[in-house]
Amino acid sequence: MPQSTVFDQAFVLFENGQSTCIRYDAVRTFHMDGNFAMLAVAFVGLQGALQRLAVATHGHMSRHAVQVVTGHPGTGVRDAFEYITRAVTRSAYVLDKAQPYARLNPHADFSYSWIVVAGPCSVLCQVRDGVLPERFYELFGLARSGGLDEHTRQEFDALKCDIEARVLALAPEDVLDFMECPAP
């Protein structure tokens, strides 16, 4: 029997009387850019947000009807939302880098947060301070400025994979802060 890994993480959504299993390994296969740290954060964050929205809407919600306003422009975040909700394809995905929440990265002018909306209910999801280590932000800054050499590029890739594995082993509440908020 194959051993289970963090990449086997999955969550079950109950929507409109049906259950759907969302597997992380499928989301990871869909994503092509190697931004695995934020892919995992978004996966876990969306798990927590959709669970809360299902409760708030008494189970009368569909993941294919949610809207997303994100402050994070990265492909890992985008691809997690696209695979799980098809929000990008449905033009229900809005990038608003000016969001004032979770502005954690001193090397980037954007937010590590998103708002997930289902009908009249919405949840603000903010990456918790400390989930991404300072070294992640330092290497991000070097990458953004073109200052990564082969050694630091490999270090950054390995760090993203380490963060991915750590985040997938945590509960959503240990990765993000969730709060109900008015729909944007």
* Residue 43 within a domain: yes
* Residue 106 within a domain: yes
Give 1's pLDDT tier (boundaries 50, 70, 90).
very low
* Residue 44 within a domain: yes
Distance of CA 53 to the CA centre of its chain: 16
Q: Where are the beta strands (DSSP E) in 24-175?
A: 67-70, 93-95, 113-118, 121-127
* Residue 22 within a domain: yes
* Residue 132 within a domain: yes
* Residue 1 within a domain: no
* Residue 115 within a domain: yes
Please compute the mean of the pLDDT values over residues 120-131 and round it to a whole number.
Answer: 96
Please compute the mean of the pLDDT values over residues 19-28 and round it to a whole number.
Answer: 90
- Residue 22: is its pLDDT beyond 80? yes
* Residue 85 within a domain: yes
How many whole angstroms separate alpha carbon 77 and alpha carbon 35?
9
Through-space distance between the first and last CA atoms of the chain, rounded to whole angstroms: 47
Looking at residue 129, which CATH number applies to its domain? Answer: 3.30.1330.130
Provide the domain count of the chain. 1
Instruction: Give residue 65's domain range.
Output: 6-180
